[in-house]
A and B are shown apart, each in its own frame.
Chain A
């Protein structure tokens, strides 16, 4: 394909500048985002087996719920009934809420004991996955604007740059695309190999990246867009409308059996399994039930489920993200749902999650390799000393990328040990992550990119290795209070940590090779290490 040379040159500059400004933020977003695909496995792994209370037998949920209403009258405002066998049957927020991001959320869990008596326990919400999700959505940027973290808006802006980088990258790659798409030229040197892999990953996962860029912009700036739309709509309402709803306040005792609610849901969404029912405002004029339903074989709207909103007293369904002709979502609903589902990767069950995990890591690789290509290209040939800005960017790239990975690995390594202390674990996670992240970034500037990457990769591998070693401790010293993996999901997390440890060691070996034997103008070349080795060789 032939494209005018001035267009190519323009878009090459566009690609460089958008890439270099957004790359590091996106790296953190993608690395953490890949891990969020296994968020529930991570939480399962990070909480002791007795964290969730015993699930009750089918049919007992109603008995339990009435007892909860009697013992804790406030729960008529907001309570969740879960049918998931790994979850407590009834729970509610004692402080905090599901929506916001706060570090000291406490959740009450309730179940029935063998005699049918109410048992309730207050638990801190230990959500390692919440930390990962927070990093995914904000890149760890501290501060809040309005009802969201400042980082969400920063990543929203990064997503603009990211989309432009995708389009510009595609444009200036088009002429040589057919020729060199599958070419991974190793013989032409490391830089060529990096460039080829960057292009291959970028093109192969282009649709995924376009979806992610578009959805992130919407997630960050929907308030702005709705404000714009409301100007367009004039007097017409954005939501709601002319239908008249009878406002009726019901007695909580008039609440239908949960089985009736489940039956109504199953009629509406056949083939879906009801996971949980969140009941709200039961004593108000607007009682609502939001029901989470699951069908691994279907394309789902949320990260883990579809939803259905209904009035729990009249069993009228307001709307649902299950679109099968029983509602009036129409083509609009399908499109909107598709956007969400394509971001969350909540289709295709376990395979879909793995695919998204790999593409997420691929995305992180794309931004990291992009920065490296830029750095190597700007370096002066055959020369050891490089410009200050080049060294700065090299240290920043290695420091931020490795730093975020080390920080996350550190929280995993520390997680089970932290539960042995009286600390608020979510705050402790933050301290562990940020101390490691900033230590790594400072370390990268102090030691230089090449030397730090050796230290950093080894620390990363070590922290990852602590995960299975911790469980081994728990196995060998059962009195210590550290639990051992008890499910496939738990073992998956341990195996994942082991794989990351091995990957880190392999990368460290490669870097070492380039430190000692690479080109002197590469960022991986490290003068001091090389000369000291040379002199020691000389002495021997």
Chain B
């Protein structure tokens, strides 16, 4: 079998896209929420926060959907889990760190 060809691995890739993808998008948005403009450490008005939090909530979905759509490009399910899971853990760890420190 050709090593570089994409394997189907429907279930494991799909599950990686759903679960690891979800936490990855929460993590990415989390870093943005803390460090991005009008971030959580800044003093912003109630009105600014109202819209900024809605914005943060909205952008989770496009990130998650894009991850989920392109997860089938991973050669194997294991690779999908390694990469997505790895980055999900990394971003969530950064968010946890920011939460603790700031």
Contact = CB atoms under 8 A, between A and B. Distances in A.
Interface string B65-102: 11011101100000000000000000000010001000
A233 B29 CA distance: 11
B60 interface: yes
Contacts of B48: 328-330, 332
Chain A to chain B: the 10 pairs with minimum beta-carbon distance, closest first: A232-B30, A332-B55, A167-B69, A333-B51, A234-B99, A332-B51, A328-B47, A6-B6, A228-B26, A163-B65
Interface string B24-55: 00100110011000101001111111111111
A502 interface: no
B65 A225 contact: no
A204 B70 CA distance: 22
Given A160-B68, A218-B58, A336 B51 contact: yes
Given A160-B68, A232-B95, A330-B51, A13 B61 contact: no
Contact of B70 (A167, A226, A237): A167
B40 A236 contact: yes
Nearest to B52: A332
Nearest to B100: A234
Interface of B: 5-6, 8, 22, 26, 29-30, 33-34, 38, 40, 43-58, 60-62, 65-66, 68-70, 72-73, 95, 99
Interface stretch (A117-125, A238-246, A383-391): A238-246
Interface in A147-165: 160, 163-164
Interface residues of A, number: 45
Given A11-B72, A167-B69, A232-B30, A214 B51 contact: no
Contact of A241 (B46, B55, B62, B95): B46
A305 B81 CA distance: 45
Given A240-B46, A332-B48, 12 more contacts: A10-B72, A229-B29, A229-B60, A232-B30, A239-B49, A240-B49, A332-B51, A332-B54, A333-B51, A336-B51, A336-B54, A336-B55
A311 to B, nearest CB: 13
Contact of A238 (B26, B53, B65, B73): B53
13 contacts: A6-B6, A10-B72, A13-B8, A214-B65, A217-B61, A218-B57, A228-B26, A229-B33, A231-B26, A242-B43, A329-B51, A330-B48, A339-B58
A432 to B, nearest CB: 36
B68 A164 contact: yes
Nearest to A4: B6
A471 interface: no
Contacts of B68: 160, 163-164
A232 B45 CA distance: 20
Most chain B CB neighbours (cut-off 10 Å) among A167, A232, A329? A232
Contact of A7 (B6, B22, B40, B54): B6
Contacts of B69: 163-164, 167-168
Nearest to A230: B53
A335 interface: yes
A341 to B, nearest CB: 13
Interface of A: 6-7, 10-11, 13-14, 160, 163-164, 167-168, 213-214, 217-218, 221-222, 225-226, 228-229, 231-243, 318-319, 327-330, 332-333, 335-336, 339
Contact of A329 (B47, B62, B66, B73): B47
A127 to B, nearest CB: 28
A213 B73 contact: no
Nearest to B32: A232
A243 B57 contact: no
Nearest to A216: B61
Contacts of A243: 45-46
A232 B33 contact: yes
Given A11-B72, A163-B65, A232-B26, A328 B55 contact: no
B57 A222 contact: yes
A239 B53 contact: yes
Most chain B CB neighbours (cut-off 10 Å) among A164, A242, A318? A164
B50 A335 contact: no
B8 A10 contact: yes
Contacts of B49: 237, 239-241
Contacts of B73: 7, 10
Nearest to A334: B51
B40 to A, nearest CB: 5
B38 A332 contact: yes
B33 A226 contact: no
A11 B6 CA distance: 11
